[in-house]
């Protein structure tokens, strides 16, 4: 791989991280967690031997939404709008062994896309089609 391509890949990662940090800064804990009982998420994490369990570290539901939508529409690397409102939930994920935000978009009656975000850092952990 050439150095310029490695540089471009590095810039994309930097832009994504900057977007995550911007969203977390804009939409702090005062924006809430979408009605989720964060104490139960923390408890499930601790019982499951997870990492990043402290509920005081979780990003808000609005920060998770902001990260998924790219918050300004200028980034093509965003979760599609879909044909129904997005569904967001915060839970302990035993596969990732940490609390995660899941953001799901329905693209058709039988398909969609799901993003998994680290609940503490906002890092995009996975993107999957269903």
Q: Render pLDDT for 31-85 as a digit per residue (tens, 0 to 9).
A: 999 999 999 999 999 999 999 999 999 999 999 999 998 754 455 567 878 788 8
- Contact at 8 Å (CB) between 86 and 68? yes
**Higher per-residue confidence, 13 vs 100:** 100
Residues 6+ apart with CB under 8 A from 129: 111, 112, 113, 114
76-126 tens-digit pLDDT: 567 878 788 889 999 999 999 999 999 998 988 889 899 999 999 999 999
**Among 120, 113, 127, which residue's Cα sits nearest to residue 41?**
120
Tell me the CA distances in angstroms from 90 to 23, 29, 66, 77, one per residue in order: 17, 13, 15, 22
pTM of the entire structure? 0.81
CB 60 within 8 A of CB 68: no
The pLDDT value recorded for residue 70 is 78
Q: Is 19 helix (H, G, I), strand (E, B) or coil?
A: helix
User: Across the strands, what pairs with 91?
Assistant: 100
How does DSSP classify residue 91?
E
Q: What is the pLDDT of residue 73?
A: 47
Q: Where are the domains of the chain?
A: 3-129
Binning pLDDT at 50, 70 and 90, where does residue 3 land? very low
Total Cβ atoms within 10 A of residue 121? 16
Instruction: Give dist(CA 26, CA 84) in Å, integer.
Output: 25
Question: How many H helices and E strands in the chain?
Answer: 3, 4
């Amino acid at each position: 791989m050439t150095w310029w391509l490695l540089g471009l890949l590095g810039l994309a990662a930097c832009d994504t991280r900057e977007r995550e940090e911007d969203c977390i800064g804009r939409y702090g804990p005062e924006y809430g967690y979408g009605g989720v009982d964060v104490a139960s998420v923390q408890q499930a994490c601790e019982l499951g031997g997870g990492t990043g369990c402290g509920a005081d570290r979780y990003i808000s539901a609005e920060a998770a939404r902001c990260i998924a939508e790219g918050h300004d529409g200028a980034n093509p690397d965003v979760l599609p709008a879909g044909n129904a409102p997005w569904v967001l939930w915060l839970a302990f994920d035993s596969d990732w062994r940490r609390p995660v935000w899941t953001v799901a978009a329905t693209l058709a009656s039988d398909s969609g896309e799901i993003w998994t975000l680290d609940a503490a850092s906002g890092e995009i952990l996975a993107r999957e089609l269903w």
